């Protein structure tokens, strides 16, 4: 055994067969290796291709001349989903991984049939190469689109006033984690850069191991976080961990021999020769399409979206000028009857907040359905529900349209508006669809309130509620200091 520092430089040894392809190993595959490969081939083909007819219907209906970044996101954000299971474990526990077990069972059955019907076939090297290509590009597209939503600070925005005014115990664990990332935008940008880099490396055969290792590390971290904080994207993240580990498996034996056993390693790889001109040019074209689409076009669409704020999670319509902040409810009258402050009162507001954008919140002792989704981006402000997802404690969120000429606010309840452009196959997609169905059954509360501003720190609201009761509310701004504001 030679010392490590005197190992000869690795060389690439290739040989050719009658099909103009190099051979990955001089010796044949053992019966066990062939069976395991058949299982892996079926398993990872099913894992890497869209399995929903809706996906292909959406693909055909896509307007390629008027694309938004979310269109490309939806094309790359899928994972196999066959079982619709209910219950606590189906959302957060081991049962949520049942689809992977089902696919493995199908792969085992298919491998048995394959062994009986095609046991003499010897094209495993060629199939292995193309299977790795399929998995590489699947992971690359998924990681790149996942990274861009972090790079442009879409996934985890900075917490708004309504969130900062919410008691810690009224915020779900998953929301707390997302907020802890959202308050450090440069860290979120770094996470996005790592995911984009991982996906980019997977486009190229020579950097596959590095890209797969970055993918496995980043995605495994997300799996752990979602289990620790009761999140909903652990299955989608585990999906990429499985695919990345499969890609790493090809080089792990050689690395073990080189780095641990300190033995000479001469890597031998199998890949098509592409000797004919049409094969060479066709390869370049097919390779350029996904690279251009998900690195060039995706970046361009995100830049446009960032500038125009078309499809994000936080509303952008400006609210009342100078009204942003936390307010105490100094006086509250319902049908001209003064209601004193009481934390147990189911009608009286306890506090209120105005955002920089057009959102008004108030806290009241009423049950509000807890939205466990992550608040997908939406085109309309009134449907952007990031502010209220994961927030309990009776805080109500309203979108408002301000008429400064007549000094009126037209309020629309945002609870039950979750849904919209959810991901396909991702961890929260099913939850988003169920929220959208529930939203269609809810009667949205609307109010038209007149406002006056006697001074810079007081707002008086008067009007009729959705239940036909007269309302009179005096709000006084409190100069609350949030340490987080220093990070903005």
- Judge whether residue 44 has pLDDT over 50: yes
User: Would the pLDDT of 121 be above 70?
Assistant: no
Choose one of 278, 308, 338: the last residue of a domain.
308
- Tell me the CATH number at 400: 2.40.128
**272 and 349 both lie in a single domain:** no
Residue 318, domain member (yes or no):
no
The alpha carbon of 331 is separated from its chain's Cα centroid by a whole number of angstroms, namely 43
Residue 421 pLDDT > 90: no
Q: Are residues 282 and 386 in the same domain?
A: no
Q: Please, are residues 327 and 98 in contact by the beta-carbon 8 Å criterion?
A: no
pLDDT at 353: 96
Kindly state whether residues 263 and 366 are assigned to the same domain: no
* Per-residue pLDDT at 149: 95
Residue 482 lies in a domain: yes
107 against 20, higher pLDDT? 107
266 & 395 share domain: no
Last residue of a domain, one of 258, 273, 308: 308
Q: Flag whether 372 is in a domain.
A: yes
Q: How many domains does the chain have?
A: 2
Average pLDDT over residues 443-463: 89
**One domain for residues 415 and 378:** yes
| Tens digits of residue pLDDT in 356-383 | 999 999 999 988 888 888 888 888 888 8
Mean pLDDT estimate for the chain: 85
Answer with the residue of higher pLDDT: 144 or 232: 144
Same domain, 376 and 423: yes
Confidence band for 265, pLDDT divided at 50, 70 and 90: confident
Say if residue 302 is in the same domain as residue 329.
no
Secondary structure in 3-state letters for the chain: CCCHHHCCCCCCCCCECCCCEECCCCCCCCHHHHHHHHHHHHHHHHHHCCCCHHHHHHHHHCCCCCCCHHHHHHHHCCCCCCCCCCCHHHHHCHHHHHHHHHHHHHHHHHHHHHHHHCCCCCCHHHHHHHHHHHHHHHHHHHHHHHHHHHHCCCCCCCCCHHHHCCCHHHECHHHHHHHHHHCCHHHHHHHHHHHHHHHHHCCCHHHHHHHHHHHHHHHHHHHHHHHHCCCCCHHHHHHHHHHHHHHHHCCHHHHHHHHHCCCCCCCCCCCECCCCHHHHHHHHHHHHHHHHHHHHHHHHHHHHHHHHCCCECCCCCECCCCCCEEEEEEEEEECCEECCCCCCCCCCCCEEEECCECEEEEECCCCCCCCCCCCCCECCHHHCCCCCCCECCCEEEEEEEEECCCCEEEEEECCCCCCCCCCCCCCCHHHHHHHHHHHHHCCCCEEEEEEEEEECCEEEEEEECCCCCEEEEEEEEECCCCHHHHHC
pLDDT at position 326, please? 95
Banded pLDDT at 24 (limits 50, 70, 90): very low
> Is 33 inside a domain boundary?
yes
> Is residue 268 very low, low, confident or very high in pLDDT (cuts 50, 70, 90)?
confident
On whether the CB atoms of residues 134 and 45 are closer than 8 A, the answer is yes
**Burial tier of 371 (Cβ tally within 10 Å: 0-12, 13-18, 19+):** buried
pLDDT at 209 over 60: yes
**Which domain does 274 fall in, by range?**
4-308
Select from 280, 308, 336 the last residue of a domain: 308
Q: Would you state the pLDDT for residue 264?
A: 87
Average pLDDT over residues 19-43: 73
Q: Are residues 297 and 334 in the same domain?
A: no
**pLDDT at position 415 over 50:** yes
455 and 341 inside one domain:
yes
184 and 40 in a common domain: yes
Q: How much of the chain, in percent, has pLDDT values that exceed 90?
A: 63
Give domain status of residue 313, yes or no. no
Nearest CA to 43 out of 89, 83, 101, 103 is that of 103
Backbone angles phi, psi at 369, to 5 degrees: -60, 125
Say yes or no: 296 and 334 in one domain. Answer: no
- 140 domain-assigned: yes
Residues 463 and 340 in one domain: yes
pTM: 0.84
Residue 125 forms part of a structural domain: yes
Residue 320, in any domain of the structure? no
Q: CA-CA distance, 330 to 85, in Å (whole number)?
A: 48
């Amino acid at each position: 055994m030679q010392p490590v520092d005197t190992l000869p430089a690795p060389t690439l040894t290739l040989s050719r067969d009658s099909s103009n392809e190099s051979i990955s190993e001089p010796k044949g595959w053992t019966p066990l290796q062939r069976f395991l490969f058949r299982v892996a081939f079926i398993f990872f083909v099913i894992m890497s291709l869209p399995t929903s007819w809706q996906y292909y219907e959406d693909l055909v209906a896509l307007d390629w001349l008027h694309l938004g970044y979310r269109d490309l996101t939806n094309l790359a954000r899928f994972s196999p989903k066959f079982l619709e299971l209910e219950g606590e474990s189906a959302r957060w526990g081991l049962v949520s991984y049942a689809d992977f077990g089902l696919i493995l069972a199908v792969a085992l059955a298919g491998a048995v049939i394959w062994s009986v019907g095609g046991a003499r076939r010897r094209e495993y090297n060629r199939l292995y190469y193309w299977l790795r290509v399929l998995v590489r590009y699947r992971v690359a597209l998924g990681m790149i689109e996942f990274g861009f939503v972090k790079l442009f600070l879409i996934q985890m925005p900075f917490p708004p006033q309504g969130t900062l005014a919410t008691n810690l115990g009224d915020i779900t664990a998953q929301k707390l984690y997302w907020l802890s990332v959202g308050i450090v935008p440069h860290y979120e940008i770094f996470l996005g850069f790592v995911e984009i880099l991982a996906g980019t490396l997977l486009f190229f055969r020579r950097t596959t191991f590095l890209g797969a290792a970055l993918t496995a590390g980043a995605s495994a971290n997300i799996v752990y976080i979602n289990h620790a904080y009761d999140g909903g994207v652990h299955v989608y993240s585990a999906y990429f961990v499985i695919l990345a580990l499969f890609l790493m498996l090809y080089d792990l034996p050689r690395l073990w021999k080189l780095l641990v056993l300190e033995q000479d390693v001469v890597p031998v790889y199998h890949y098509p020769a592409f000797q004919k001109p049409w094969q060479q040019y066709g390869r370049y074209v097919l390779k350029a399409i996904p690279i251009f689409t998900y690195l060039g076009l995706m970046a361009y669409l995100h830049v446009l979206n960032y500038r125009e704020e078309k499809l994000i999670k936080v509303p952008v319509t400006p609210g009342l000028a100078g009204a942003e902040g936390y307010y105490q409810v100094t006086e509250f009258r319902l049908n001209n009857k003064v209601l004193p402050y009481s934390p147990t009162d189911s009608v009286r507001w306890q506090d209120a907040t105005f955002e920089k954008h057009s959102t008004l919140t108030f806290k009241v002792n009423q049950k509000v359905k807890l939205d466990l989704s992550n608040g997908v981006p939406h085109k309309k402000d009134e449907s952007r529900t990031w502010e209220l997802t994961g927030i309990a404690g009776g805080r109500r969120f309203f979108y408002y349209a301000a008429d400064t000429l007549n000094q009126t606010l037209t309020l629309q309840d945002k609870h039950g508006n979750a849904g919209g452009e959810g991901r396909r196959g991702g961890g929260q997609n099913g939850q988003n669809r169920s929220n959208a169905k529930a939203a269609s059954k809810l009667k949205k509360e609307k109010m038209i309130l007149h406002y006056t501003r006697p001074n810079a720190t007081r707002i008086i609201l008067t009007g009729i509620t959705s239940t036909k009761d007269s309302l009179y509310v005096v709000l006084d701004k409190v100069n609350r200091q949030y340490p987080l504001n220093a990070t903005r």
